[in-house]
Structure 1
């Protein structure tokens, strides 16, 4: 994920590649028609049509991980987006209208909402209903596609595994009618060691059906194979290992993490390749990769990309939006970093400033936020009588997971 592409493009690619999952970051600058009518409980100013539930879930989950109690109306907005079936669509402009067969509920929005609401607590009914829907649309191979009926892809399966774990389920025991679990399908979505991109998780080309190595899919595959969600602690430190045939999820996770470590070794960041444009550093996918490396225990290999994120992430997040801030918070959390001092920037205050004021904040102090003439959020932290001015970062919404991030 770099300055992630628009959610509209992401949603379209989900159908074209049959292997896309949102994870953060389109430009979050206000659209001409959307910002004036946005719900007061929603985070971000961009049109929420393609990512409202996703970015809200990321924002609330990141706040919770940083000791922030989100605004009640922000939580209510998210729970109000749920359909009677239990699933969530990307955005429902009028939640009072019942969902019908044409409502595009999807596994990614639903899984993100589950992870956020399970972490916040007090939402058992909503969470259980959403988990029930996810189970009802599980593919026979044990995985999930972006929308019901699409073939299983790594990103969707990975984020659903995280949701199941967050809800107290055992992913290995969530099986299809054919007895397959997500842990059965994930190893089959990896690139053989002897091929180009060996060890990576891949996305399938719709025409050829052949998997192509994809960094963000690999990050999702690693965390999913380890049974972890978006917020996690680093695994036990281990050494880098050579790629071996992925006969189970443990080996698939090791191979994927090693692929990411090798890809990041040179520059400390991933790049995104889009037709007709030059390759660009991909901040969002780099953040995902840092989380995956930490989850796998490759904490030493995560140090260089984390340092790169501290330098380049806040400016990106400011442009991309609340989900981007959240993604950086997840990277800090996974590696034991401080999201309130991320390269000198306070990610938590910046995230809080993109939506309704939280109920309360715990941590190093209480934030007093205001807008300057340029619309930039200034967070002033008072710690033992010392005023510290922290700059704000720059944003994220969907992870262009269909891109070839190599």
Structure 2
């Protein structure tokens, strides 16, 4: 789903560099300034109505959608300009690109992406009153589903777990049964199952999701932290914002595999839909416990670093699956790291994602890790019409929390700088035309 956020550009980069992923599902446009590039060659100015002050070229719709979803859940009525900016980004065919500077110009269908579309649909459902735009977005997702039931970041590419999970989230938000959204006999849940490791995988990876399926004759796909975290919300039947209050006392149930399953026909069968959420929950719980209650980003040639975005999505998936107690440690870790991840509350995507986690975990979002996440997020965009318990727009002027005053570390994004990602994207493009929009900076992590 690189972002800081959502999507693991860094995770995907690692997979590409080690030969464990197919051509990137979410990048088939040349990097800005490179031959054939159609995107901007200089950072775009921040439009009025958009949350965050950074270049929106690669994450404008993503961060706006997360911000509006989180604020709607916090009972803040966003400004018309903020909602209008998001709806104005929608293309005539119903999809959304990552960002388009001139909404009066027709969209390039190749640049529309399933991730932006999926989070925009969820935001508009959360806000209410935008059914036509939601319906068009759902129709775009249906039209751009792959024959195996999955979704790619950009149409006409191999599917990936992150994009498929987000599409399932959007369908559930729009009250459309993913089991009924199919291509060539494969529905959305079938597409998601293709990325989940079952009994044929090593025991410590069972239940995890890979980013992309292994290619014939290629190396086996391996568990991916961000893919597992993001896909877990879909596997547990969830959407944004997570508001599930179910709680089970038992830990998530690990996948049950017969002896010798890895070498037999049973071992190669997809994880059953009924077992998917529990299986990935068990995998995530084990990974969190092994790494100090957070997930790790591993890059070739570099020491592993904490993966904020993957940890946040893992917490959301566990809570949705009825296991808030297993998510509690990750939520505590995210609260402790709030200032670092959100860059003192100045990163809109990270702040919105953290707010969604605090809400799902039923923690006070106005005192989460010493930060008023609602106040920080509203301060990054146009003043809301009203906020719960305040006069209109009052929260936009909320004072910075102690966390907000802490010095921001240089390009946290999980330790991967934006320009480092650009360089990797160009290098991969030279070698095989891969990862052509790595510089998409979605928010908070990578």
Q: TM-score range by the shorter chain?
A: 0.7 to 0.9
User: Which residue of structure 1 lines up, in the alignment, with residue 331 of structure 2?
Assistant: 306
Q: In the superposition, relative to structure 1, how do residues 352 and 209 fare at CA in structure 2: closer, same or farther (>3 Å)?
A: farther
2:248 counterpart of 1:237 = yes
Secondary structure of the residue aligned to 1:271 is: strand
User: Which residue of structure 1 lines up, in the alignment, with residue 276 of structure 2?
Assistant: 252
Residues in 2 aligned to 1:211 and 1:174: alpha-carbon distance in whole angstroms: 26
Residues in 2 aligned to 1:275 and 1:6: alpha-carbon distance in whole angstroms: 20
Secondary structure of the residue aligned to 1:227 is: coil
Secondary structure of the residue aligned to 2:142 is: helix
Residues in 1 aligned to 2:214 and 2:58: alpha-carbon distance in whole angstroms: 22
Residues in 1 aligned to 2:234 and 2:105: alpha-carbon distance in whole angstroms: 34
State the shift of 1:323 in Å: 1.0
User: Which residue of structure 1 lines up, in the alignment, with residue 221 of structure 2?
Assistant: 211
State the shift of 1:110 in Å: 0.4
State the shift of 1:184 in Å: 1.6
Give the TM-score, by structure 2 length. 0.76
Aligned 1:373-388 pairs, distance under 5 A: 378-379=399-400
Give the TM-score, by structure 1 length. 0.83
Residues in 1 aligned to 2:237 and 2:195: alpha-carbon distance in whole angstroms: 16
2:297 counterpart of 1:264 = no
User: Which residue of structure 1 lines up, in the alignment, with residue 442 of structure 2?
Assistant: 398
Q: In the superposition, relative to structure 1, how do residues 17 and 338 fare at CA in structure 2: closer, same or farther (>3 Å)?
A: farther
Q: In the superposition, relative to structure 1, how do residues 256 and 109 fare at CA in structure 2: closer, same or farther (>3 Å)?
A: same
Residues in 1 aligned to 2:192 and 2:249: alpha-carbon distance in whole angstroms: 22
2:318 counterpart of 1:297 = no
From the two aligned structures, give the one with the greater strand fraction. 1
Aligned 1:149-164 pairs, distance under 5 A: 149-164=156-171
Indicate conservation of the 8 Å contact 1:83/1:99, yes or no.
yes
Aligned 1:145-224 pairs, distance under 5 A: 145-176=152-183, 178-193=184-199, 194-195=201-202, 196-204=204-212, 208=218, 210-224=220-234
Residues in 2 aligned to 1:179 and 1:3: alpha-carbon distance in whole angstroms: 33
RMSD between aligned alpha carbons?
3.2
2:335 counterpart of 1:317 = no
1:326 to 352, 368, 388: 352
Structure 2: stretches of 5+ with no match in the other structure? 28-40, 258-269, 414-440
State the shift of 1:209 in Å: 6.2
Structure 1: stretches of 5+ with no match in the other structure? 23-31, 371-376, 380-388
Indicate conservation of the 8 Å contact 1:287/1:306, yes or no.
yes
User: How many residues are matched?
Assistant: 375
Q: Deviations over 1:61-89 (max 9, x none)?
A: 11101111111101101111111111110
